[in-house]
Structure 1
Amino acid sequence: MGKGRLGWDEYAVAWARLHGGFDPREAGPLVRGWLRISYAIGSGLARVGIPPSGVTFAGLVFSVSVPVLADRPTIAAVFVLLAAIADSADGATAVVSGRATRIGYVYDSVADRLGEAAWLVAFWLVGAPAMLVVVAAGLSWLHEYVRARVTAAGMRDIGVVTVAERPTRVSVAFVGLLIAGVAGAVQPDLPAGTITVVTAVWLLLAFVGLLQLLAAFHRALR
């Protein structure tokens, strides 16, 4: 097939090569459905000639807009969702168009971390305690750092998908800001308490996920 016209099965094989051999056709219904949507969007973007880097940059812009919109949490939640869609679509665009590169992978990872930092800044602006936000951010960063170091050490697959992976953080940010916005419509002082609970959930998941990752790493070493 021509550029931007890679079929789903061919795309799935190429995607699996870039994700530790995990075949998206064998994923659960939600994950498979999300990846099919990403594939459809990526195919369309590749067909009109939009480069993966442009999609990555758009996703970062969406993420940076989230704290700017912190006084309207419901709208901010929509921008988290848009950023997540762009984050999936940039990889799909790269695979479909045959433009997946190592430098693109690095930029995408950096954009993800900056985007998540922006979402947590929004949590703080809505009313979450600064220290809680900082610890949540630190644990999420440590989760990704440990995974990166394990990979750099030559262990391509340590056999674990933790409770604190990127899709979880997207879900917590989107649902948390959405609930905070709804709570604010009921009573003006509710968003701060709501987003504090959401930040605590983020922190707890990040902590548990880090423990899962370390445990899997030690099992793999043995």
Structure 2
Amino acid sequence: MGQGRLGWDEYATGWARLHGGFDPRKAGRLVRGWLRVSYVIGRGLARVRIPPAAVTFAGLLLCVSVPLLADRPALAAVFVLLAAMADSADGATAVVSGRATRLGYLYDSLADRLGEAAWLVAFWLVGAPGMLVVAAAGLSWLHEYVRARVVAAGMRDIGAVTVGERPTRVAVAFLGLLLAGAAEAVQTDLPAGTITVVAAVWVLLALVGLLQLLAAVHRVLR
């Protein structure tokens, strides 16, 4: 099959193999819609032979731009959304073009962690306390570390979809910066308080998600 000609059903099957067996066709409407948009973008990129690594790098550059735009939080939120789409599109490009590799998966995961760190730096620059930012980063990193280690221990299925997954972090970063931008239009000192509340929500969701994941791992591996 030629570049960019993989059908949706074939793509969904290939995507599921790379994501713990989770079938995107059975996801909720919002997630399914997001993944279908990613598929369309990935199919277009594959047709013009843009490599997945280039899309990953572009997404990382978008993430790095977010803290540089901390004085304009609403615009920073747009860059978070664009980076998240690039993150989905690089995997879609890899699957559609038949260029999914373990090395590409490693680089994609590394770019995700660096990107989230950049978003949290933006939170700090807008006004979130450093301790909250560090806690959010640490708990999110632990979530991904535990998932990676249990795979190494022999747990092959997804185990649990928690409230602390990557899509949740994307949504919190996007909405947090967007709300901070809206608060800035009301009063100049409101963004710091707004982003502090959102950072606390990030920490709470990350903690609950980590506990959910650990509970699922305990059930499976004991």
- The TM-score, its normalising length taken from structure 1, stands at 0.98
- Match runs of 1:48-59 below 5 Å: 48-59=48-59
Post-superposition Cα deviations, 1:129-185, rounded to whole Å, max 9, x if no partner, equal 111111111111111111111111111125210000000000000000000000001
Preserved CA contact (<8 Å) 2:184 2:190: yes
Measure the CA separation in 1 of the matches of 2:194 and 2:20.
Answer: 37
Partner of 2:38: 38
* Other structure's SS at 2:161 match: coil
Measure the CA separation in 2 of the matches of 1:141 and 1:16.
Answer: 23
The one-letter code of the counterpart of 1:205 is L
Preserved CA contact (<8 Å) 1:158 1:220: no
Shift of 1:24: 1.2
Measure the CA separation in 1 of the matches of 2:22 and 2:164.
Answer: 18
- Match runs of 1:4-23 below 5 Å: 4-23=4-23
- Match runs of 1:1-222 below 5 Å: 1-157=1-157, 159-222=159-222
The one-letter code of the counterpart of 1:33 is G
The one-letter code of the counterpart of 1:68 is L
Shift of 1:2: 1.0
Shift of 1:10: 1.0
Measure the CA separation in 1 of the matches of 2:135 and 2:92.
Answer: 32
The one-letter code of the counterpart of 2:148 is A
Measure the CA separation in 1 of the matches of 2:170 and 2:121.
Answer: 14
Preserved CA contact (<8 Å) 2:19 2:158: no
* Other structure's SS at 1:162 match: coil
Post-superposition Cα deviations, 1:67-115, rounded to whole Å, max 9, x if no partner, equal 0000000000000000000000000000000000000000000000000
Which sections of structure 2, spanning at least 5 residues, go unmatched? none
Preserved CA contact (<8 Å) 2:21 2:158: no
Segments ≥4 residues shifted beyond 3 Å: none
* Other structure's SS at 1:43 match: helix
Quick check: 14-23 or 50-59, which moved more? 14-23
* Other structure's SS at 1:134 match: helix
Preserved CA contact (<8 Å) 1:69 1:76: yes
Measure the CA separation in 2 of the matches of 1:29 and 1:129.
Answer: 35
Measure the CA separation in 2 of the matches of 1:158 and 1:101.
Answer: 19
Shift of 1:23: 1.6
Measure the CA separation in 2 of the matches of 1:4 and 1:217.
Answer: 37
Preserved CA contact (<8 Å) 1:158 1:217: no
RMSD: 0.8
